[in-house]
Structure 1
Amino acid sequence: MQIYLLYGGQNAEHHLSLASAFAVIRAIYFKFYSVCPIYITKTGQWLKGATLHAPLATAAQLRLQAGKTATFQDHVATGIPIQPGDLAVDNSVVFPLMHGRNAEDGTIQGLLQSLGIPYIGDGVLASAVGMDKIVSKMLFQQTGIPQAPYVPILKGQWQQDSERLLSRCEGSLLYPMYVKPANLGSSLGVRRVDNRATLISAVENAFAFAGRILVEQGIVAREIELGLLGDEKLQFTIPGEVLDRQRLNQRTDVATRQQQRLKIPAQITATALAKMKQYARKAYAIMDGAGLARCDFFLTANDDVLLNEINTMPVFDQYAMYPQLWQKMGLSSGDLIDELVKLARKRFKRQQQQTAQA
């Protein structure tokens, strides 16, 4: 079977996507699969690389240049321009290993689904919900899942009556607060604020990146993460803890990611873990999740569990939490990819049957 590995993209997470793609290529079982790299450049061009039957030597080779032929050489890798519909090939599956806006937000998933192409990961709805912090928080709130208090702000509302929104923030939240663009995958535009002056500045700054932002209550808590895998039959990893968060944005280099310390397994109570699994299961079901996700939680000193977010396409490189959690469970990255392929084929077959019956 052939895996089309889709990576790159027109967003701030471009470099993280390349890191994930390189890690997957090094982990995949080439005795079962061949891999065809599909690079979306920063200008939006789709380039198809030469089919791989063994891992690449360096991640730099994944930055394809447009050419008349697809080749991998020591210093130059070229790909031929293609259209998305060219990926509709029998006995193949697309792995959209892309992060951030115009990638894991349902846009790529919707494109592949409309073309009738099987793909790994969550579908259109789950991807869109997971990417938008306002929509996901409102949805999870209706489901009864505890979260940090928040105030959503739209750019038009701010321009019309910023004083009312400031009063709402200060009336329902306490300083410190965090201001976040609602639909960016990285920490670009995220700021901590401790007073009204810095709140105003942070809101104005966030609107430079998105027209929808979130003001969230600062929480003194540990950051605990769980990995999810499956559809109706969900599998959970052991919990992992981020000990010193290094914000991952377009300026984050490899050295910074290496410095981020993870503790696996995290030392938490059985009660807290049970709550996390309960909330993750409810949240993933209501957003129609199927495939993979990383659920991020806050755990307070009183053992209260708050759902922070669900990431529907976590980073896959060697420093990332998601693959390390599964490795600690005895599931290698190669086995994990194999499971994801099976889930993708299963969902595609089910969708074909539903379409035939409609």
Structure 2
Amino acid sequence: MANRLRLGVIFGGQSGEHEVSVVSAQHVMEAAADRYDVVPIGVTKTGAWLTPDETQRQLDRSDEPYHKALELAGAQGLVSRPQALTTLGEIDVAFPLIHGTYGEDGTLQGLLELAGVPYAGAGVAASAIGMDKALMKRIFRQAGLDVVEHIVVRSTQYRPDSEELREAVESSVGYPAFVKPANGGSSVGISKIASREELGRALCLAFRYDRKVLVERAADAREIECAVLGNDDPQPSPLGEIRHNREFYDYEAKYLDPDTRLIAPADLPEAMAQRIQELAVRGYRALDCAGMGRMDFFLTDDDVVFIDEVNTVPGFTPASMYPLLWEKGGLSYADLIGRLVELGLERHKERVRG
């Protein structure tokens, strides 16, 4: 029997979705165990890398899924524990599942490329652009895709008493509007504002998380999602819809609110569903994504479709839309993991050959 691939599942990390990453990893590792020799690689909230044995011991210590955090006293940052990094030289392929900063933004992908390790998912550039909402929306617009009206405000240019900024928001965006950090996930630092009096406070909050902030029109629309799978020939999944009762789809709405509903497949006319699937593939290609990406859209009552963003490391929990949509498309969770590993290996071969 041929030797099985050693699959390193990298998870945890420093973002607000640390616990979600842990839950995703546990499900991925369980599903992959029949095909691969799974190597758990945990990263603590302070950025310290754990050895596989340390990681497994921490996973075994608690049965509380969304309260399980990886910890190691006194260890901070990537190079604080070089013995853990040697694990990268002992795996055949990596499956990154760290959300947000230092995981989904191209930094982890760059480390894996420096180490010569194949990995599932988007490359360095697509990952970095996918985390920067301002750059991402600019590229979407240049590709001919509709995006919700917005302006970008930089911390170095911001003045609390700027009447020019208030007028720019009112003329280009209007109210209500969302104020959000350009980089970040889990809806951290986001505010919904209804008037110019609320703008300054919302900007100050967002600037705590990034030097670049988007002020974006609040779209009165349905929230539609499409899972895309593939490298140079990406395929769209059936569509899903998110329904919730909150101002925006934040961490609590995603993972803790029992009233949030994931509807799959979404109730849409066939022509509209096909149109959104085509837009999903166009957006995926515009960013040069690879492996996987969840493309998010707004659909207004008058059938205008706005592309919102790509998530290059979508969740893989039981409450995550990406694997659910592919299951509706006839691809099981385990087969989805296998296909993503194959795509990562294929892309690595092309990169090395190039």
TM-score by length of structure 2 reads: 0.88
Give the superposition deviation at 1:270: 2.5
Deviation readout 1:141-170 (Å, 9 max, x if unpaired): 111101110001110111397332221111
Q: 2:6 aligns with which of 2, 8, 24?
A: 2
Structure 1 residue 218 corresponds to structure 2 residue 245: no
Q: 1:14 aligns with which of 14, 18, 25?
A: 18
Mapping of residues 138-157 of structure 1, within 5 Å: 138-157=138-157
CA contact (8 A) 1:38 1:48 kept: yes
Rounded Cα–Cα distance in structure 2 between residues aligned with 1:204 and 1:272: 39
Unpaired runs of 5+ residues, structure 2, are 74-80
Mapping of residues 278-357 of structure 1, within 5 Å: 278-354=278-354
Give the superposition deviation at 1:277: 2.2
CA contact (8 A) 1:14 1:99 kept: yes
Give the superposition deviation at 1:10: 1.4
Pair 118,189 (structure 1): closer, same or farther in 2 beyond 3 Å? same
CA contact (8 A) 1:126 1:287 kept: yes
User: What value does the CA root-mean-square deviation take over the aligned residues?
Assistant: 2.4
Letter in 2 for 1:319: A
Mapping of residues 1-358 of structure 1, within 5 Å: 1-28=5-32, 30-50=33-53, 58=63, 63=69, 82-89=83-90, 92-159=92-159, 162-244=162-244, 247-249=249-251, 254-256=255-257, 258-354=258-354
Moved over 6 A (4+): 59-62
Question: What is residue 77 of structure 2 aligned with on the other side?
Answer: none
Count of aligned residue pairs for this structure pair: 336
Letter in 2 for 1:9: G
Rounded Cα–Cα distance in structure 1 between residues aligned with 2:42 and 2:329: 32
Pair 85,157 (structure 1): closer, same or farther in 2 beyond 3 Å? farther
Give the superposition deviation at 1:64: 5.2
TM-score by length of structure 1 reads: 0.87
Rounded Cα–Cα distance in structure 1 between residues aligned with 2:162 and 2:22: 40
Rounded Cα–Cα distance in structure 1 between residues aligned with 2:221 and 2:71: 45
Give the superposition deviation at 1:273: 2.0
Pair 161,255 (structure 1): closer, same or farther in 2 beyond 3 Å? closer
Unpaired runs of 5+ residues, structure 1, are 68-79
CA contact (8 A) 1:13 1:186 kept: yes
Identity of aligned residues (%): 39
CA contact (8 A) 1:22 1:62 kept: no
Deviation readout 1:237-288 (Å, 9 max, x if unpaired): 1110001166343x679542x4421111111123322322222222211211
Rounded Cα–Cα distance in structure 1 between residues aligned with 2:102 and 2:159: 26
CA contact (8 A) 2:121 2:290 kept: yes
